[in-house]
Structure 1
Amino acid sequence: MSEHHAGESLVSIKSVSRRFGDVQALDQVSLEIRPGEFFALLGPSGCGKTTLLRILAGFEHPDSGSVTLDGADLLAVPPHRRPVNLMFQSYALFPHMSVEKNIAYGLERERLPRGEIRERVEAVLDTVGLTGLARRRPHQLSGGQRQRVALARAIVKRPRLLLLDEPLSALDKKVRAEMQLELKRLQHEVGITFVVVTHDQEEAMSLADRIAVLSEGRVRQVDAPVPLYERPADLFVADFIGANNLITGLVTADGLRVPDVGVLPCPASPTAVGATATLAVRPERVRLGADGGLVGVVRDVTFFGGTTRVAVDVTGLDRPLLATVAGAATVGLGDKTRVDWTDVDAVLIDGA
């Protein structure tokens, strides 16, 4: 986590908008990114997250709005002069150069003294754990090692801000999980502010101090992973982050009344009684085989090793209720079971 107090901003993005023809890529986006923070931009394809990254890097210019870094106007600075580095998903290493030459390239272009370049390259090779591979060429490396070279090349320049565009998408699942840990460790070690763009919510949740969820060019919610998961601000976030049971009904004094189903437990609502709202309850909060609750029939059981996902058909609901249980399930296909949850385990979201 950032050592800095919450009020301090490194990057301040205010009311940034960008259109491409009929597409509103960014619509009045405002965000504050703190020093030393690992910040994720998360959303489906086409939500505007890459456009925002390119604006920070200087490859795009917004139609309106402002971006400052350390209080100074970033948009007035040409890309190569910004204390910002962008790492692409393709890594774009020079194939004819060794690992150490790839890493030194940016420093050589800045005409730094040779001794300083050597020291900085050696230090960063050590940081990313590639000391023994300094003389290799990119084609002699694994995907994970190439990823480390690209990272080393970016952090050796000591940018204030490192931008990562889907940095792990080219890696297979196991290497990806290792690199997530590595990225987090590195970020803590080098103390550079990281902004990562991803459509993979697990990646964002495991890496970031805070996440901005974007949809159709707008920021839906900015929060740390746990509150984002437990208290989604709207239906889009509730549906996009993790699996969720979403049930729409009418708010009553006793709970959420759903036609043909009954009154379901939910927390007291800020919404007026009689208004339409949507209940969100996470599968791991749903209890199977409870005494009360709704009666349903098991339609699917999926075993994931540590947990099992059970889908239960309940009459009157348009989609099955999902419950996640620890270990193997005690119910089977076609079994009758009861499903229940407590009011505090659900979240009520205004509007249908």
Structure 2
Amino acid sequence: MTEPTQPTEAGAPLVEISGLTRRFGDVTALDSVDLTINENEFFALLGPSGCGKSTLLRSIAGFETPDSGTIVLGGTDLLALPPHRRPLNLMFQSYALFPHMSVERNVAYGLEREKLPKAEIRTRVNEVLETVGLTDKARRKPHELSGGQRQRVALARAVVKRPRLLLLDEPLSALDRKVRSQMQIELKRLQQEVGITFVVVTHDQEEAMSMSDRLAVLSHGQVQQVATPVAMYKRPANLFVADFIGESNAFAGKVVDGGLAVAGLGVLPGHRVGDEIGGDGASAHVVVRPEDTRLGRPGEGRVDGTVLETQFYGGVSTVAVTVPGHADPVLSTVAGTTDVERGAAVSVAWTAQDAVIVGGTR
């Protein structure tokens, strides 16, 4: 299910993809994908392995030839152009830096190939090195840099040519967790400073949610939803998106007035989202995020159960509650530590406004 994509404050539409399909034998990697990416937007393509996100990125770059559909960038038909003629750049996961060249030579390489005047090359290289904070590393070789610094060199080399669109394929996967978190902030800052549309492919939910203005979640070659991170988290279009984006509690049941009738648990409240839900009696799921629940004494909440486990994550605690008749433990997140003990009888409560009723499957 593709949610309509509307231009955001980032700007007017820059990339318009329509009916894009790519097959590899019996496997359909992209299945009639429709997508709009806006000018000066940080856009993320998110999904599990094999969902089609890298094939989509490679199709935009020109390294895959779609079986049908169109890709238009700023009014130009990209599919009519070879990769080297497209007004975009692709930053590879491996960075692909020249080991024998200094930082400044790596960054200047593309401009030198275009035979630009030496003075202009020097000015543009100096400007971009200052932007990425590597002016003092200009004469060093890649092996003398940290992983995060090499990532910045690759980014500088990509943006120095001033493409209208920059494609990034898992750009932070080679970094350790601490550096990756720092570079997420850095990438977003750089994107805003250079004023170029970024499209990043990632399987990391936290990465996509923290950096992007909007994101698209793909599954089996189809776009499941396009939205801002907050909107997608709060109003997932279907069960797959709700399950893929963050932690969630999902209860299967039948649609009734006021919520969902769940076997053994009664009517659980929630509000409907998306258009994959039928009328009364239709199968659906009510989904509630762990942080939107609260624990209480038995009989005071929506469901009763027994505390299975408590885990502390430096600032919040997650309590797993076993609920009779429900296969998966119900998760409840509370601030700080909790004195709830394993084996305690508790209830889990939430408001109808904090739960969504969605269709679809995992």
The answer to whether the aligner puts 1:120 opposite 2:124 as a matched pair is yes
Identity percentage of aligned residues: 65
1:304 partner amino acid: Y
1:18-97 to 2 correspondences below 5 Å:
18-97=22-101
Q: Tell me the alpha carbon deviations over residues 39-80 of structure 1, each in whole angstroms, 9 at most, x when there is no partner.
A: 000000111111111111111110100111111111111111
Match of 1:245 in 2: 249
When normalised by structure 2's length, the TM-score is: 0.94
Unaligned 5+ residue runs, structure 1? none
Partner SS state of residue 148, structure 1: helix
Match of 2:111 in 1: 107
Label 1:4 to 1:259 Cα distance change in 2 as closer, same or farther (>3 A). Answer: closer
Deviation at 1:256, TM superposition (A): 1.6
Label 1:52 to 1:311 Cα distance change in 2 as closer, same or farther (>3 A). Answer: same
Deviation at 1:267, TM superposition (A): 2.6
Q: What value does the CA root-mean-square deviation take over the aligned residues?
A: 1.4
Label 1:305 to 1:4 Cα distance change in 2 as closer, same or farther (>3 A). Answer: closer
1:161 partner amino acid: L
Contact 1:3 1:36 in 2 (8 A): no
Match of 1:283 in 2: 290
- 2: CA distance, partners of 1:133 / 1:342: 55
1:182-201 to 2 correspondences below 5 Å:
182-201=186-205
When normalised by structure 1's length, the TM-score is: 0.97
- 2: CA distance, partners of 1:274 / 1:139: 63
Label 1:118 to 1:62 Cα distance change in 2 as closer, same or farther (>3 A). Answer: same
Partner SS state of residue 178, structure 1: helix
Unaligned 5+ residue runs, structure 2? 1-6
Deviation at 1:255, TM superposition (A): 2.8
The answer to whether the aligner puts 1:227 opposite 2:231 as a matched pair is yes
Partner SS state of residue 139, structure 1: helix
Deviation at 1:351, TM superposition (A): 5.3
Q: Tell me the alpha carbon deviations over residues 126-163 of structure 1, each in whole angstroms, 9 at most, x when there is no partner.
A: 00000000000000000000000000000000000000
Contact 2:253 2:260 in 1 (8 A): yes
Which is further off, 327-336 or 254-263? Answer: 254-263
Label 1:219 to 1:254 Cα distance change in 2 as closer, same or farther (>3 A). Answer: closer
Q: Tell me the alpha carbon deviations over residues 320-350 of structure 1, each in whole angstroms, 9 at most, x when there is no partner.
A: 1011111112201111111111111100013
The answer to whether the aligner puts 1:323 opposite 2:332 as a matched pair is yes
Name segments (4+ residues, structure 1) moved above 6 Å: none
Match of 2:309 in 1: 300
Contact 2:259 2:357 in 1 (8 A): no
Contact 2:213 2:229 in 1 (8 A): yes
Deviation at 1:271, TM superposition (A): 4.0
- 2: CA distance, partners of 1:65 / 1:35: 21
Contact 1:2 1:36 in 2 (8 A): no
Q: Tell me the alpha carbon deviations over residues 217-268 of structure 1, each in whole angstroms, 9 at most, x when there is no partner.
A: 0000000001100111111101100011010012222432111222212236
Partner SS state of residue 80, structure 2: coil
Match of 1:177 in 2: 181
